[in-house]
Amino acid sequence: MQEQSPGEHSVCSQDDIPEVRRTLSLISDPGDWWRSAVIYQVYIRSFCDGNGDGLGDIAGIRSRLSYLCELGVDALWINPWYPSPMADAGYDVTDYRDVEPRFGTLDEAEALLGEAHALGLRVILDIVPNHTSDQHPWFRAAVAAGHGSPERERYVFRPGRGEDGSEPPNGWRSVFGGTAWHRITESDGSLGEWYLHLFAREQPDLNWEHPDVRADFEHSLRFWFDRGVDGFRIDVANSLIKQSGLPDVEWPQASVEFDQEFARAPWQAHPHWDRDEVHEIYRDWRRIADSYADPRVFVAEAWVDEPARLARYIRPDELHTAFNFTYLRSPWLADHLQNTVAETLAEHSAVGAPPTWVLSNHDVARHVSRYARPQKKPGRSLMDLLGQPADLEVGRRRARAAVLLTLGLPGGAYIYQGEELGLAEVEDLPEGALRDPTWERSGQTDRGRDGCRVPIPWSGTDPPYGFSPDGSKAAPWLPQPADWAGLTAEAQTGDPLSMLELYREALRIRRADSSLGDGDLAWLDLPEGALGFQRGADFVCLVNVSADPIDLPDAAVVLLSSTELTADGRLPADASVWCSV
């Protein structure tokens, strides 16, 4: 345990666990916890800095476990904490079985797992199987070993096209902009082969046809499962397999068209996204997870826009859950929301898997800022909305309504750190502060994802708002806005009108009401612009997106509402209510 000075936040003890959590943990089936789980995403670099270097770390997470307990979540998912040169914020890994020194040590990681478990919190890590860092020992060996060597077989090396091989092997594009290929200089100084990187140049794609690759990832899964990790979020779970021969993609891939490609329906076979052969890997991984007495779980990060394609990842012998990005991408429009929910439920129930509901994560513009804009079906990164005029008050009001919808729906849910504080995207980060590789790879045209990654404000009235310990020399790795004093966890605690207290109360009710979480819903017939459903015998959630004020059901008792009701007791637009009927 990290030493703490008096007055600092401390890890909560068993006594701090809310009564309802203790009761439920005794009665709920531990094997099925993930079907209803609310999982808090800890973006480690920006969550809490324990050692004062301006970067979040494991000590910081340990010091805030009490906060997560009080919030009432079931588990945390921690973004990659492995050794990494940080070319893509830890998604460029050099060793999958250790901890980045800037984040802490393996011993601290194990201590965190023990402390979280003692508090009834599960812990999910993030595994990055599509690519390693270019500093990974395998990749360094591949570059050194030369053309045709077995070391190169673990990655995707190809000769260039054109007479002198100066053209990339095919036209595939990097998600972060530009070609997906980089030409290496061979050890004799000559220009050599090209390697594939679907993300940054520092993230060479692995060759998943190679048995070493499969065996090594299985080893890493076991390494962490043996230490008590409860599951993994699988990064870009829909890539990994590339079509043999690496055929060119038939449609345009510049950024705007790239967004459209993801929104494309019906699904079309693609040479490197969502290939059928990828499922075999996850069947193997599932067998490993199921070999543990308290089975471990997976959540797929797969940007697959068609619910029927996504459902293939969560068939009974594959992954347990998948992020529901169709929901995340849905604009604040009643018909979009209802159709997305209905389609999600249908596709998930066909494979017997619980849905997840996600509003934000570390790759997309924060939903307060999305909902602050005129609503339309957005592009994939959702950053395109940011150019529009914004009304953040409207954005926050809708975000309050959205979380009651999210937590009322059947299945599990994710909370991205800071959304419970109502944080908006930081849209005015100075260009010199931007760290996301997207900024440079796009020729400084796309500012990338830093605006949703700004360090969390915990307390006090000025930066670093308790993110780093008092007196730290280093500033937070991204600058925090000057006007966040009212948004700190400290400032919101105890204020019944705050976003934080809304989340706490919603999570408290959700835990106490057995008709919430996993299960089914019955839609209610409501005016256009509103949606609503009943769960169990007496729980009703109404969401008024854009209709005139709507009536609550007869004799309804309000459990929680996102906004004050009208003087005559009706639900206004941009508001949700939970009631008991």
**Closest distance to ligand TEU from the beta carbon of 556 (Å):** 40
Alpha-carbon distance values, 137 to 11, 93, 144, 194 (Å): 37, 10, 10, 18
Q: Could you say which of 88, 202, 513, 574 contacts ligand TEU (CB under 6 A)?
A: 88
Considering only residues 198 to 217 of the shown chain, the ones binding ligand TEU according to CB under 6 A are 199
| CB nearer ligand TEU, residue 51 or residue 381 | 381
Contact between 125 and ligand TEU per CB under 6 A: no
Amino acid at 309: R
Full DSSP string of 446-513: --TTGGG-PPPP-SSSSTTTTSS-TT-SSPPSSPPPTT-GGGSHHHHTT-TTSHHHHHHHHHHHHHH-
Per the rule left: phi > 0, alpha: psi between -120 and 50, beta: everything else, 86 is left
Backbone φ and ψ for 205, nearest 5 degrees, come out as: -70, 140
CB of 147 to ligand TEU, least distance (A): 27
Please pick, from the candidates 77, 91, 285, 371, the single residue that binds ligand TEU as defined by CB under 6 A: 91
Residues 380-439 that bind ligand TEU (CB under 6 A): 380-381
The CB-of-161 to ligand TEU minimum distance in angstroms stands at 26
Residue closer to ligand TEU by CB (options 62, 373) is 373
- How far apart are alpha carbons 163 and 410 in whole angstroms? 58
Binds ligand TEU by CB under 6 A, chosen from 235, 347, 450, 574: 235
Cβ pair 441, 197 in contact under 8 A? no
Positive or negative torsion for Cα 322, 178, 267, 249 = negative
Q: Is 175 in the site for ligand TEU (CB under 6 A)?
A: yes
CA distance 319 to 486: 40
Both tokens of 352, joined, read 């017997």
Q: Are 581 and 534 in contact (CB under 8 A)?
A: yes
Nearer to ligand TEU, 303 or 458 (CB): 303
* SS3 call for 59: helix
Residue 443 CB-density burial (10 A; 0-12 exposed, 13-18 middle, 19+ buried): exposed
- Least distance CB 272 / ligand TEU (angstroms): 12
Residue 161 has a CB neighbour count (10 Å cut-off) of 15
Q: Of 61 and 358, which has the nearer Cβ to ligand TEU? A: 358
- 56 vs 517 by CB, closer to ligand TEU: 56
The residue among 174 and 498 lying less far from ligand TEU, judged by its C-beta, is: 174
Nearer to ligand TEU, 132 or 338 (CB): 132
Q: Is 533 in the site for ligand TEU (CB under 6 A)?
A: no
- CA atoms of 46 and 50, how far apart (whole Å): 11
The reply on whether position 303 binds ligand TEU by CB under 6 A is: yes
For β-strands 321-322 and 181-185, DSSP reports them as unpaired
User: Closest residue to ligand TEU, Cβ-based?
Assistant: 91
Angle, alpha carbons 333-337-342 (nearest 5°): 150
Query: What part of residues 332-391 is at the interface with ligand TEU (CB under 6 A)?
Result: 362-363, 380-381
Q: H-helix or E-strand containing 71?
A: helix 65-71
Beta carbon of residue 216, minimum distance to ligand TEU (angstroms, whole number) = 17
Counting contacts by CB under 6 A, is residue 193 touching ligand TEU?
no
Query: Smallest distance from the beta carbon of 376 to ligand TEU, in angstroms?
Result: 18
Min. distance of Cβ 386 from ligand TEU in angstroms?
A: 12
Q: Which residue, 139 or 303, has its beta carbon nearer to ligand TEU?
A: 303
Type and span of the H or E element at 400: helix 392-408
* Phi, psi angles (nearest 5°) of residue 232: -135, 140
Question: In this chain, which of 119, 236, 404, 543 binds ligand TEU, going by CB under 6 A?
Answer: 236
Which one, 86 or 577, has the nearer CB to ligand TEU? Answer: 86
**Distance of closest approach, residue 435 Cβ to ligand TEU, in angstroms:** 12
Which lies closer to ligand TEU via its Cβ, residue 203 or residue 562? 203
* Contact flags string 126-145 toward ligand TEU, x per CB under 6 A: --x-----------------
Nearer to ligand TEU, 173 or 362 (CB): 362
Q: How many residues bind ligand TEU (CB under 6 A)?
A: 13
**Quick one: tokens of 444?**
């400084």
Local structure of 558: helix, strand or coil: strand
Nearest to 129 by CA among 68, 195, 203: 203
Residues that bind ligand TEU (CB under 6 A): 88, 91, 128, 175, 199, 235-236, 301, 303, 362-363, 380-381
